[in-house]
Structure 1
Amino acid sequence: MARVRLPISVVAAVLAVLGLPVAPAQAADRAGPGGRPYDGTVVATDSGRVRGSSQDGYRSFQGIPYAAPPVGDLRWRDPQPVTAWSGVRPVSTPGSPCLQSTGTGLLGSEDCLYLNVTTPARAAHRPVVVWLHGGGFSTGAGSDYDPHRMAVAGDVVVVTVNYRLGVLGGFGYPGLAGSGDFGLADQQAALRWVRRNAAAFGGDPGNVTLAGQSAGGMSVCSQLTSPSAAGLFDKALIQSGSCLINYPDDLFFPGMSAGSPWTTRTAVEAAGSAFAGTVGCAGLDCLRQKPAADLLRADLAGPAHGGFAKPAYGTALLPEEPAAALRAGRFHRVPVLEGGNRDEHRGWAAALNAGWTITADRYRQLLTAAFGDRAAAVAAQYPVSAYPSPAVAWATVATDRIWSCPTLTGEQLMARHTRLYAYEFADRSAPLQPGSVPGFPYGAYHAAELPYLFDLTGWPITLTPEQQGLSREMIAAWSAFATTGRPWPRLRDPADTRLFAPGEPGTVDLGTEHDCGFWSGF
């Protein structure tokens, strides 16, 4: 079938949306104590004492190292233990984000394996939520997410985590132990740190929820199916990152081949061999001597515009693709809360439409590229006349086919073996991210729920009174799941999906809302 070809400027714009980072992660100086010490702000970890800061109703500890800096000979190796320190280490400002592109330059450092702990002021034996950021496995940082509202209102300890990204987190090479999974290995190291140290911060090390959104949610999926993650967490919370996400040619965006958020070890090692040649290296020793920034620039300049942004399976850490593991029932039997947003793909549609207007003819062209001789059936199910524009029609097709229906299928698979709690976020007036396309109806787009749970770096927002109520409702539900593992009735039918929208308490039938019966044949 004919593929859709776009101008390179449009491809670059849409690629910038792919990771959907909340905002460029902010590097910070870790050196200063950030003011006078407060009672309860000095905590003894297993590597040494740290001094955080005390705020109104909570304590904050930022930039705690959970593994040794993965630099020099430790580049592309599993995370190693931190060297213990003497005295009291100030941790009132975040550590460096992991090296990444901002779109206009580079940000961060290889020395980035830090986490941040936010805990209620007088916490003791409280549930722990470990948050994995999104960003397409290529951007983002734990410090982008300020969880103090959840910590205080939900009475939980929240840990946000940095993990290696892009060519430093997903690189593979023949014979390299851990090929393709260094970022996932970092996440497991952080979980082990939490098991060892949560109690010192007022957390319950036996009640840990692993949570994440987008690539963070896909990371949770990966850990659910990773043998080496067994026993590292007690519940899982997945936002817009189903284990079953997949897409045909050109549907995620034009020019993107069919696939999923994961790749094979064989593929990533072949890509690594080819990449070594482009930077003038014949082996790992040479590659480890290259400046990290040079490697990232070379990766971004390649034909894939960043070719190591997918975790690999067929590895010791991830023996099989999470979708296959889920279908076979091979995942850790912990309670799961999972869901997504009603209009996930509208952000990508807006970015595409801004540089390549999606007309009715182009809508049909996009459907033909993705579905071939079945495009007419899709067009009949999603007629342009039923939507505000052809761009919204295309976004709805992509939302249902890529996001919502695979999410429902994954939920039903997990519900056979464990308690599964499903939700959909549907506030179509949610605050927009900086840089959004003016006038486009984003609806409940990918990442739109995040300001209801966190304060976000670079994303100042004001929620309406109704939205503030929805935020309180969501924080209460997320915290209830972290506390008891039973936030609302478990999923037994697609209609048991909890709806989060202002003034619309209740449930929604996810299968009906997203035409999943139609897509079951695809």
Structure 2
Amino acid sequence: MRTLLALAVLLTACGTATSTQAAPDPAVVRTDAGTVRGSVSGEHRIFQGIRYATAGRWEPPRPAPAWQGVRDATAPGAMCPQVGSPYAPVRSEDEDCLFLNVTTPAEPAKPGARRPVMVWLHGDGALGAGHYSDARRLAAKGTVVVTINYRLGVFGGFGHPGLADGGTYGLQDQTEALRWVRRNAAAFGGDPGNVTVFGISYGASSIGALLTSPGAKGLFHRAIMQSGETMMDMPAGSMVPGLEALPSFMWRPKAEIAALGEAYARQLGCDSLACLRALPVKKILDVPQIMNVFQVYAYGNRVLPQSPDEALRKGRFHRVPVLAGATRDEHRLFVAMNYDIQGKTPNYPKLVREAFGRKAPDILRKYPVNRYKSPSIAWATVLTDRMWARATHEQNTLLARHVPVYGYEFADREAPMFLPLESGFDWGAYHAGDLPYLFEEKDTPLPPAQRALSDQMIGYWTNFARAGDPNGDGLPTWPRASSGTLALEPGKIRVIDYAARHRLGFWK
């Protein structure tokens, strides 16, 4: 009897201890390197400034060293070095910048279930940071969203004869971040076996590189590419007035990048890597255009053995489903920045002749200036069709030979301008105009019609992350790219003939 009574008392005590044990703090997560404390607000848990790697100047990234105690994760980490631009007046001189941010739903996933993970690569290879992208609306659809910092400009794309993998450091950072996700997604309720990498502009082009980089194999399972330049070349004067034609927008042979690095080293007064690595960040940043010149990736090395455009043409890429597209009026933004915002009017016939030589008369007949609101719109339309649409169509066609591909065109010509640019210019569906439809822009709230389109796009993107197919309840049907391209426009999402809309038969 005494034994039974003692056992009853013991069981009661254990039960009491169990019932009063504090529930886990949802703001605290243990990563493989240490514990972090984020913030819980409303429907979300947000963790900012988590160090995923460290790296010396022009050295490969290494996983973040372990730490003791609980690190604060309620504020962003330092941005990578950058000088900003007229439309983004930011600056950083901090090379200790390899941080990421995680946004999840506040409500725990169902027992045994894990959420799809979406890893965002921001655009612009010379400025930006992960924390500028507010991922709460994407996470509210039941995803874990990771936004990252990676090295930019000369710190990410610099090459030199003494650097074996020069011109790839930003890409190596992105790959290391994906390795961090594989190790740590589960701690945040995510599924390391269901990772979607998505990005815009330079970030989308980076995904073109990741698709062909041996080191990225198996680190992601789906890809979303928004306005990427993977297959794009540059006619003369297309991006910058007076700039000669280039066979590729993004990719350069490693020898070319190394030679460019040597030229800038001499400009900085250095004849060795040791000298370059000892320079203050400020001295490097103050060299005119040095951040923009190295907004490319080098190939012919361990990280990128082959130019990604050629790799795609040969079918040499990681087999994952792809969602990819561009905006209807991609190049209006660049033409306006080169001309209209500066109070200039482009000489349309002269620009066409310089860019296309003997083919100029045919182009001027196909795109007569009197058909458009201005010479700027005419020139922008030529370049949108010739550069962006042609490259996007080729990319999607090549990918679709091997994997499921869903093509889109963001076609909202009433999209609000979220950049601080004022000119009275007709922006149309401009480059990156779709960004506020996925990530909340506090200073540019979407009107009701645009908000409704935003909800649909977020539905498509998160459906694709979940299952490799954007289709779902309440959304217009999205066919695979072989059956047409989905035009995304408020109130009239529909399938279009993308090649016909952008006169690709003419450009072929």
User: Which of these residues, 449, 464, 489, is aligned with residue 481 of structure 1?
Assistant: 464
Q: What corresponds to 1:248 in structure 2?
A: 235
User: Which of these residues, 395, 398, 403, is aligned with residue 383 of structure 2?
Assistant: 398
Q: What corresponds to 1:499 in structure 2?
A: 487
Higher relative contact order (Cα pairs below 8 Å, separated by 6+ residues): 1
**Higher CA-based Rg:** 2
- Tell me if the contact between 1:419 and 1:490 (Cα under 8 Å) persists in the aligned partners: no
Matched, 1:228 2:210: no
Partners of 1:224 and 1:185 in 2: how far apart?
13
Matched, 1:331 2:322: no
- Structure 1 residue 106: Cα displacement: 3.2
Q: What corresponds to 1:370 in structure 2?
A: 355
Q: What corresponds to 2:19 in structure 1?
A: none
- Supply the AA of the counterpart residue of 2:427: Y
Q: What corresponds to 1:96 in structure 2?
A: 78
- Structure 1 residue 435: Cα displacement: 2.5
**CA RMSD of superposed structures (Å):** 1.6
Q: Flag the 1:273–1:253 CA change in 2: closer, same or farther, 3 A.
A: closer
Q: What corresponds to 1:157 in structure 2?
A: 144
Partners of 2:162 and 2:339 in 1: how far apart?
43
Q: Flag the 1:466–1:504 CA change in 2: closer, same or farther, 3 A.
A: same
| TM alignment of 1:312-391, pairs within 5 A | 312-354=298-340, 355=342, 357-358=344-345, 362-391=347-376
Q: What corresponds to 1:465 in structure 2?
A: 448
Q: What corresponds to 1:264 in structure 2?
A: 253
- Structure 1 residue 123: Cα displacement: 4.0
Q: Flag the 1:492–1:276 CA change in 2: closer, same or farther, 3 A.
A: closer
- Structure 1 residue 477: Cα displacement: 0.1
Q: What corresponds to 2:505 in structure 1?
A: 517
- Supply the AA of the counterpart residue of 2:324: E
Measured against aligned partners, the alpha-carbon deviations of 1:3-38 in whole angstroms (never above 9, x if no partner) come to xxxxxxxxxxxxxxxxxxxxxxxxxxxxxxxxxx99
- Tell me if the contact between 1:96 and 1:108 (Cα under 8 Å) persists in the aligned partners: no
Contiguous gaps of at least 5 residues in structure 1? 1-36
- Supply the AA of the counterpart residue of 1:261: M
- Structure 1 residue 411: Cα displacement: 0.2
Partner SS state of residue 95, structure 2? coil
- Supply the AA of the counterpart residue of 1:41: A
Measured against aligned partners, the alpha-carbon deviations of 1:70-116 in whole angstroms (never above 9, x if no partner) come to 2xxx2111001211110100100000110101236732511100000
Matched, 1:86 2:72: no
Matched, 1:167 2:149: no
Q: What corresponds to 1:144 in structure 2?
A: 132
- Structure 1 residue 177: Cα displacement: 2.4
Partner SS state of residue 324, structure 2? strand
- Structure 1 residue 290: Cα displacement: 0.8
- Structure 1 residue 476: Cα displacement: 0.2
- Tell me if the contact between 2:396 and 2:481 (Cα under 8 Å) persists in the aligned partners: no
Measured against aligned partners, the alpha-carbon deviations of 1:24-71 in whole angstroms (never above 9, x if no partner) come to xxxxxxxxxxxxx99311000000000000011110000000002x2x
- Structure 1 residue 487: Cα displacement: 1.1
- Structure 1 residue 460: Cα displacement: 0.8
- Tell me if the contact between 1:209 and 1:234 (Cα under 8 Å) persists in the aligned partners: yes
Q: What corresponds to 1:49 in structure 2?
A: 35
Q: What corresponds to 2:10 in structure 1?
A: none
- Structure 1 residue 464: Cα displacement: 1.3
User: Which of these residues, 405, 408, 431, is aligned with residue 416 of structure 2?
Assistant: 431
Q: Flag the 1:244–1:274 CA change in 2: closer, same or farther, 3 A.
A: same
- Structure 1 residue 505: Cα displacement: 1.9
Partners of 1:192 and 1:503 in 2: how far apart?
40
Q: Flag the 1:285–1:155 CA change in 2: closer, same or farther, 3 A.
A: same
Measured against aligned partners, the alpha-carbon deviations of 1:413-455 in whole angstroms (never above 9, x if no partner) come to 1000000010110110111133323311000000100101002
| TM alignment of 1:116-195, pairs within 5 A | 116-124=101-109, 125-135=114-124, 137-152=125-140, 154-195=141-182
- Tell me if the contact between 2:162 and 2:273 (Cα under 8 Å) persists in the aligned partners: no
Partners of 2:147 and 2:32 in 1: how far apart?
18
For normalisation by structure 1, the TM-score amounts to 0.87
Partners of 1:224 and 1:320 in 2: how far apart?
12
- Structure 1 residue 514: Cα displacement: 0.6
Q: What corresponds to 2:274 in structure 1?
A: 285
Q: What corresponds to 1:4 in structure 2?
A: none
Q: Flag the 1:339–1:123 CA change in 2: closer, same or farther, 3 A.
A: farther
- Supply the AA of the counterpart residue of 2:38: G
Partners of 2:25 and 2:296 in 1: how far apart?
43
- Supply the AA of the counterpart residue of 2:256: A
Partner SS state of residue 86, structure 1? coil
- Tell me if the contact between 1:123 and 1:203 (Cα under 8 Å) persists in the aligned partners: no
Q: What corresponds to 1:8 in structure 2?
A: none
Q: What corresponds to 2:198 in structure 1?
A: 211
Partner SS state of residue 504, structure 1? coil
Instruction: Tell me which moved more, 214-223 or 288-297.
Output: 288-297
Q: What corresponds to 1:63 in structure 2?
A: 49
- Tell me if the contact between 1:208 and 1:233 (Cα under 8 Å) persists in the aligned partners: yes
For normalisation by structure 2, the TM-score amounts to 0.90
Partner SS state of residue 257, structure 2? helix
- Structure 1 residue 356: Cα displacement: 5.6
Partners of 1:441 and 1:173 in 2: how far apart?
43
- Structure 1 residue 352: Cα displacement: 2.2
- Supply the AA of the counterpart residue of 2:195: V
Measured against aligned partners, the alpha-carbon deviations of 1:389-431 in whole angstroms (never above 9, x if no partner) come to 1110100011111111210111001000000010110110111
- Tell me if the contact between 1:453 and 1:474 (Cα under 8 Å) persists in the aligned partners: yes
- Tell me if the contact between 2:406 and 2:481 (Cα under 8 Å) persists in the aligned partners: no
Partner SS state of residue 61, structure 1? strand
Partners of 1:105 and 1:84 in 2: how far apart?
31
Q: Flag the 1:38–1:171 CA change in 2: closer, same or farther, 3 A.
A: same
Partner SS state of residue 469, structure 1? helix
User: Which of these residues, 113, 116, 124, is aligned with residue 98 of structure 2?
Assistant: 113
Matched, 1:77 2:59: yes
- Tell me if the contact between 2:118 and 2:143 (Cα under 8 Å) persists in the aligned partners: yes
- Structure 1 residue 307: Cα displacement: 2.1
- Tell me if the contact between 1:350 and 1:437 (Cα under 8 Å) persists in the aligned partners: no
- Structure 1 residue 122: Cα displacement: 2.2
Measured against aligned partners, the alpha-carbon deviations of 1:477-520 in whole angstroms (never above 9, x if no partner) come to 00000000011454353x51111100112111110111111111
- Structure 1 residue 149: Cα displacement: 0.7
